[in-house]
Amino acid sequence: MFRRTLMASVAVTMLGAVSAHAQTIGFSQIGSESGWRAAETTVTLQEAERRGIDLRFSDAQQRQENQIAAMRSFIAQGVDAILVAPVVATGWDSVLEEAAEAEIPVVLLDRMVDSSPDLYLTAVGSDLVHEGRVAGEWLVEAVNGADCRVVELQGTTGSSPAIDRKNGFEQGIAGADNIQIVRSQTGDFTRTRGKEVMESFLQAENGGADICALYAHNDDMAVGAIQAIKEAGLKPGEDILVVSIDAVPDIFLALAAGEANATVELTPNMAGPAFDALEAYFADGTLPEKFIQTESRLYTQADDPAAQYEGRKDLGY
């Protein structure tokens, strides 16, 4: 994976050297902390190539000092813009000021910083609460007024995705009195824990007969839980509806097999909207909003999950 991105970035850099008039944009990535992060890198490189942008890629290996060093080097190279996925929220003031002095616009990807919004052009990210709300609203529509007892697999206790996706889902089902969350427990965002906790839910809820739907804060836990449901002799997707968040490739296999019902995408394409905003800014100085929210698209069994899987499996998830 890493080798592929490296080769791609070398190729892109060489391309840029030939056509000197192409835009040069530096991208400081956190590192390869998760499959989603790897997919974000791949998609960013693809988007840059598609638009003919000369992308300078730098992998910070989860260290802020590497990111700051990379940004300083981008500034020294005189790039046209900088994309950065900040590893932490604090400590960015001085390097952002340096970029502002050099009149290089900075776009934050996926995560925020606590510096003054004047120091960066815009931030592109997803709204975790909104993701949960989309999942909740889907369930309200899917059960269509019937009584529904929901079990919830939370993310790591205390993490912001777990808190926000829980709140969002509760907002989504607010007002639908037929739907109630009867059990909610952490599955640590992992398949193993998702399966183990789902087993205990099934035990506690009359062998699963009393459960109408499962809401998992990420797809991996849902994949584990689907196995637990199957082993309990029930049909996931029919006996128990399954809705989760992230849209990683493996959940599309489950959707294609009819074992999951819906997933809300956390898109790895943060760079696309960022490049769009930069293009408009360079063309006529249009200032974008300070926060660009990516679309949280809902995928169901009707959205050709098999094709979605094919399109995603090589992104590095």
Select 110 or 188, whichever has its Cβ closest to other proteins: 188
Q: Is 255 in the site for other proteins (CB under 8 A)?
A: no
Q: Does 256 bind other proteins (CB under 8 A)?
A: no
Contact (CB, 8 A) for 25 and 57: no
The residue count for binding other proteins (CB under 8 A) is: 36
Site string for other proteins, 197-216 (x = CB under 8 A): x-xxx-xx--x---------
3-state helix, strand, coil in the chain (%, to 5): 45, 20, 35
Helices (H), the chain: 2-18, 35-51, 64-77, 93-101, 128-143, 160-173, 191-204, 219-231, 249-256, 271-284, 305-312
Nearest Cα neighbor of 59 from 36, 89, 92, 26 is 26
Given the complex with other proteins, which of 121 and 223 has the nearer CB atom? 223
Decide: is 224 part of the binding site for other proteins (CB under 8 A).
yes
Binding mask 52-91 for other proteins (x = CB under 8 A): ----------------------------------------
88 secondary structure, DSSP code: S
Q: Which two tokens stand for residue 192?
A: 């193993």
Query: Minimum Å distance from CB 191 to other proteins?
Result: 4
Nearer to other proteins, 31 or 288 (CB): 31
Q: How far apart are CA 13 and CA 91, in angstroms?
A: 29
Residues that bind other proteins (CB under 8 A): 1-2, 32, 35, 38, 154, 157-158, 183-186, 188, 190-193, 195-197, 199-201, 203-204, 207, 220, 223-224, 227, 231-233, 250, 316-317
